[in-house]
Amino acid sequence: MRFRNIVLVLGSLVTVLALVLSDPSGGAVTATFLMSLAVGFIAVGFAHLCRKALFDYIDMQELFDKAKKSSIGSGIAFAGICVVIASLLTLFSGRANGATDPVLIKPNPVVSVIPAQARGHLPTLIAANKQYWPTHPNPQT
């Protein structure tokens, strides 16, 4: 195993351990973060497989070797394949769902996300909301 791979693996493990140990939710936020990273790895894997399927006649190593020798044609072909890979990654990557996400549409009681110490400050917050945003559709939230 190459030295850089060992450093990357150990660095990743130390980072994940630090995330788990410093996670105030007992690991839930870290698990969600790791799942979102896994989605990225899956997207890269799918993009790689699609690139191999679309360009099965192109040897990337040979193309890159030619591009290193300042062959303009190979460099342009390599850049073109990079554009295709970036397009595939965009296709397979997650998108910002906003309010269309069914989890976000479900009603969430305000009391469940406000810490107990902050509940006493709600009247001040509501008064400031009414003062600075009088046209708010629901000034109590």
pLDDT of 12-42, one tens digit each?
Answer: 899 888 888 888 888 888 888 888 778 778 8
User: What secondary structure does DSSP assign to the chain, as a single string?
Assistant: --HHHHHHHHHHHHHHHHHHHT-TTTTHHHHHHHHHHHHHHHHHHHHHHHHHHHTTT--HHHHHHHHHTT-HHHHHHHHHHHHHHHHHHHHHS----GGGSHHHHS---HHHHS-GGGGGGHHHHHHHHHHH-TT-S-TT-
Give the pLDDT of residue 51: 83
Query: Per mean pLDDT, which range of 40-44, 92-96, 100-104 is the poorest?
Result: 100-104
- What's the pTM value of the predicted model, to 2 decimals? 0.47
Name the residue ranges covered by the structural domains of the chain: 3-95, 110-141
Question: In the predicted model, what is the mean pLDDT of residues 49-53?
Answer: 87
